[in-house]
């Protein structure tokens, strides 16, 4: 009876033996329909954003973060979490990142997980945006963070369908817009005329002046006993910033290295004058063939000083040694890629982010392929002992395994130690 009275007061009628409820006009509905529309406050957000891909498909969703129009290459990332590290990874410059994990934003954003000082990616594409944050480290929500960093986001789109399209057709360029004045045809034209291949994206994310890096992994997060023993080594490493992630520098520092970071175009002759114990060629965005100046730098340094390349640095080293690189169909982006160390058979769960790879068959005699990606057999690491060079196509500083790949830093330390002994 109480339910029936409450429903009558709300203008509802309940049919007995049925679960159908019929909405009747309310007593105060004498206002015009136009006036009523201004009084209605919907408890949900309407679609206000479009993602138009170069294949002609249009995906409508809801915006969060910044507004406007951006054009970039769409790639998918299979990580379950770590979206803040992804947002601040300079290697994503020129790309929209689609998260295959459907629920994003529940851990918020904190000040300790930044991999660089800026967000370089074009935008974030997700299925479901969490409406609450549950994390003791969080200081703001993901939408607040993206708005402050001027990064666009779109949610309530079918990320599973888009991912399948990218897997079948390869990475696609897309235009993301909240601008209702732009037609679908205009956005499609923007996507089809934008090009990422052949662009120098490194210069836009690199530092402009050399600086000293002094931070190591905080004691509460340190997990390596070897890193704890390395304080007395005192190796000096020059790190070329092609878009370096902070945690790479932290791990090197934790292994006892003094680090000087230099811009991507810093002359190799100036680095050699510093007489460092080793040189790091960092990760970075885009096509390694588009930065011949970086390849020349790697050529000039390699053989004189022990070198360690990571991701972009790995690809540049491959080219510098005489090999070639190629653009993959949709690349590797995620925190769950299995890699096998050929010599030991050990399998590492790795974090990866790259659209280009080294062609193993193109490498000259003396260069050893040390790691392979178990998903597709692509080259994931090389070594050239005669030239005191090693590199990995994945991120040893990340912790998806959680620490499977961290011993790579110890191998670099051993290489510098052997060279110093000679």
Closest CA to 117 of 280, 261, 269: 261
CA-CA-CA-CA torsion sign (395, 400, 406, 407): negative
* Vertex 123: Cα angle to 175 and 87 (nearest 5): 155
The answer to whether 254 touches 276, Cβ cutoff 8 Å, is: no
pLDDT tens, per residue, the chain with 422 residues: 444 444 444 444 333 333 333 333 433 334 444 445 455 566 678 999 999 999 999 999 999 999 999 999 999 999 999 999 999 999 999 999 999 999 999 999 999 999 999 999 999 999 999 999 999 999 999 999 999 999 999 999 999 999 999 999 999 999 999 999 999 999 999 999 999 999 999 999 999 999 999 999 988 888 888 786 655 568 999 999 999 999 999 999 999 999 999 999 999 999 999 999 999 999 999 999 999 999 999 999 999 999 999 999 999 999 999 999 999 999 999 999 999 999 999 999 999 999 999 999 999 999 999 999 999 999 999 999 999 999 999 999 998 888 999 999 999 999 999 998 86
Domains defined along the chain, listed by start: 2-39 (no CATH), 49-193 (3.50.30.20), 211-421 (3.40.50.880)
Residues, the chain = 422
According to the model, what pLDDT value does residue 238 have?
98
The pairing of strands 12-14 and 21-23 is antiparallel
According to the model, what pLDDT value does residue 399 have?
86
The answer to whether 337 touches 373, Cβ cutoff 8 Å, is: yes
Residue 148, SS3 per DSSP: helix
Catalytic residues: 311, 395, 397
The answer to whether 247 touches 398, Cβ cutoff 8 Å, is: yes
Q: How many CB atoms lie within 10 A of CB 218?
A: 10
According to the model, what pLDDT value does residue 400 have?
87
Q: Is the peptide bond before 402 cis (omega within 30 degrees of 0)?
A: yes
pTM: 0.88
Distance CA 397, CA 46 (A): 40
According to the model, what pLDDT value does residue 231 have?
55
Closest CA to 287 of 206, 198, 393: 198
With b meaning 16 or more CB within 10 Å and e meaning fewer, what string describes 2-37? eeeeeeeeeeeeeeeeeeeeeeeeeeeeeeeeeeee
With b meaning 16 or more CB within 10 Å and e meaning fewer, what string describes 135-162? eeebeebbbebbbebebbbbbbbebeeb
């Amino acid at each position: 009876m109480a339910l029936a009275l409450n429903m009558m007061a709300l203008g509802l009628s309940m049919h007995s033996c049925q679960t159908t409820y019929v909405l009747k006009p309310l007593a105060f509905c004498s206002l015009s329909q136009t006036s009523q529309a201004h009084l209605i406050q919907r408890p949900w957000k309407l679609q206000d954003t479009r993602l138009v891909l170069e294949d002609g498909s249009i995906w409508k969703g809801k915006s969060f973060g910044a507004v406007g129009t951006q054009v970039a290459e769409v790639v998918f990332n299979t990580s379950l979490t770590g979206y803040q590290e992804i947002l601040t990874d300079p290697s994503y410059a020129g790309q929209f990142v689609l998260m295959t994990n459907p629920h994003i934003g529940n851990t918020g954003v904190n000040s300790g997980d930044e991999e660089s000082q800026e967000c370089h990616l074009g935008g974030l594409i997700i299925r479901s945006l969490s409406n609450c944050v549950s994390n003791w480290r969080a200081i703001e929500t993901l939408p607040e963070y993206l708005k402050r960093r001027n990064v666009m986001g779109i949610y309530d789109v079918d990320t599973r369908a888009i991912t399948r399209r990218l897997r079948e057709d390869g990475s696609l360029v897309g235009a993301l817009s909240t601008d209702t004045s732009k037609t679908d045809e205009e956005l499609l034209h923007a996507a089809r005329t934008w090009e990422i291949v052949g662009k120098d994206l490194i210069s836009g994310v690199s530092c402009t002046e050399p600086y000293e890096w002094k931070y190591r992994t905080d004691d509460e997060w340190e997990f390596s006993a070897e890193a704890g023993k390395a304080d007395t080594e005192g190796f000096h490493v020059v790190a070329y910033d092609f878009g370096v992630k902070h945690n790479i520098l932290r791990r090197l520092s934790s292994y006892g290295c003094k680090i000087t970071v230099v811009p991507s175009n810093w002359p190799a002759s100036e680095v050699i004058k510093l007489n460092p114990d080793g040189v790091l060629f960092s990760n970075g965005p885009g096509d390694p063939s588009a930065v011949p100046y970086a390849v020349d730098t790697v050529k000039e340094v390699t053989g004189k000083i022990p070198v360690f390349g990571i991701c972009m640095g790995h690809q540049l080293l491959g080219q510098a040694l005489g090999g070639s690189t190629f653009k993959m169909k949709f690349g590797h982006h995620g925190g769950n890629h299995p890699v096998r160390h050929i010599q030991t058979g050990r399998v590492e769960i790795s974090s990866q982010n790259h659209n280009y790879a080294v062609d193993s068959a193109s490498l000259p005699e003396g260069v050893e392929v040390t790691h392979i990606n178990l998903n597709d057999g692509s080259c994931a690491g090389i070594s050239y002992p005669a030239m005191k060079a090693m590199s990995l196509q994945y991120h040893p500083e990340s912790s998806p395994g959680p620490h499977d790949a961290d011993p790579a830093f110890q191998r670099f330390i051993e290489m510098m130690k052997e060279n110093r002994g000679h």
